[in-house]
């Protein structure tokens, strides 16, 4: 059984969501991506979604307390001792400390933080070509991971969409926020001796193999 809590940290477009989905399937573990959860809240017009929208559209981080409450609700439903992946959370030091408090109340702790790293211009190519299934949230890429048929999701046959925040202007803003606000988290996890760095610039399959190898050495 997979018992670790694993965190994915890296700038937008580096491939966190893609790998989180592959690993969740391969190891039969839950994964939570705060971006996906916020987009779902927005789609359902919940008060949280409505409040988050202006931040997301402009590429700013949603206030810490909103994401902490959101993630707390998800983690609380997981049976004790079962591991899971957090993709895109925490993104600030305050969120990381909040996560530690939530986990310790459940006798859990973060076992591994993976830093995804790659060159900025290549990330922009990934993000501008990214497409999303609005139904199941699966991610595609027009060149690197195209759907089997036209622009339809392989699983739902629903027309793929482009995220409103995947335009070059907002992408650059999100990247700046990553370097200024999220990158300091790496030091937080390095000091706990649980930080691993992965070269995210190679193919989806290569990155997947590397992370599977790291996972197999856990627990």
Give residue for tokens 């909040």: 98
Q: Which one, 11 or 83, has the nearer CB to ligand ADP?
A: 11
16: nearest Cα among 131, 162, 117: 117
**Does 12 participate in binding ligand ADP (rule CB under 6 A)?**
yes
Helices 47-58 and 64-76 cross at an angle (nearest 10°) of 130
**Does 91 participate in binding ligand ADP (rule CB under 6 A)?**
yes
**Does 114 participate in binding ligand ADP (rule CB under 6 A)?**
no
Q: DSSP characters for the chain?
A: ----EEEEE--TTSSHHHHHHHHHHHHT--EEEHHHHHHHHHHTT-HHHHHHHHHHHHTPPPPHHHHHHHHHHHHHTSPTT--EEEES---SHHHHHHHHHHHHHTT--EEEEEEEE--HHHHHHHHHTEEE-TTT--EEETTTB--SBTTB-TTT-PBPB--TT-SHHHHHHHHHHIIIIITHHHHHHHHTT-EEEEETTS-HHHHHHHHHHHHHT--
Instruction: Name the catalytic one among 72, 163, 173, 183.
Output: 163
| Residue nearest ligand ADP, CB atom distance | 35
Q: Which one, 38 or 211, has the nearer CB to ligand ADP?
A: 38
Give the shortest CB-138-to-Zn ion separation in angstroms.
5
Kindly identify the residues of this chain, within the stretch 80-119, that bind Zn ion according to CB under 5 A: none
Catalytic site includes residue 91: yes
Kindly identify the residues of this chain, within the stretch 200-219, that bind ligand ADP according to CB under 6 A: 203-204, 207
Give the shortest CB-43-to-ligand ADP separation in angstroms.
13
Give the range of 68-76, 84-92, 118-126, 129-137 binding Zn ion by CB under 5 A. Answer: 129-137
**Does 59 participate in binding ligand ADP (rule CB under 6 A)?**
yes
Kindly identify the residues of this chain, within the stretch 93-112, that bind ligand ADP according to CB under 6 A: 95
Per CB under 6 A, residues contacting ligand ADP are 10, 12-18, 34-35, 38, 55-56, 59-62, 67, 88-89, 91, 95, 126-127, 129-130, 139-141, 144-145, 165, 174, 203-204, 207
Residues catalogued as catalytic:
16, 91, 130, 163, 174
Per CB under 5 A, residues contacting Zn ion are 133, 135-136, 138, 153, 155-156
């Amino acid at each position: 059984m997979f018992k670790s809590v694993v965190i994915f940290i890296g700038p937008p477009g580096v491939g966190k969501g893609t790998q989180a989905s592959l690993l969740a399937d391969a190891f039969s573990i839950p994964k939570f991506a705060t971006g996906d959860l916020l987009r779902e809240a927005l789609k359902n017009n919940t008060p949280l979604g409505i409040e988050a929208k202006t931040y997301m559209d402009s590429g700013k981080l949603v206030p810490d307390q909103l994401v902490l409450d959101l993630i707390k609700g998800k983690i609380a439903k997981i049976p004790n001792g079962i591991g899971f992946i957090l993709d895109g959370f925490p993104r600030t030091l305050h969120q990381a400390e909040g996560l530690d408090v939530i986990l310790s109340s459940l006798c859990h702790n973060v076992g591994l933080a993976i830093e995804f790293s790659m060159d900025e211009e290549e990330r922009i190519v990934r993000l501008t070509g990214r497409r999303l299934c609005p139904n199941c949230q699966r991610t595609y890429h027009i060149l690197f991971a195209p759907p089997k048929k036209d622009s339809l999701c392989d699983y739902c046959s629903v027309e793929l969409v482009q995220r409103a925040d995947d335009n070059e202007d907002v992408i650059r803003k999100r990247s700046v926020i990553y370097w200024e606000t999220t990158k300091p988290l790496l030091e937080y996890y390095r000091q706990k001796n649980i930080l691993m760095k992965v070269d995210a610039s190679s193919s989806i399959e290569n990155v997947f193999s590397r992370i599977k190898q790291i996972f197999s050495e856990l627990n």
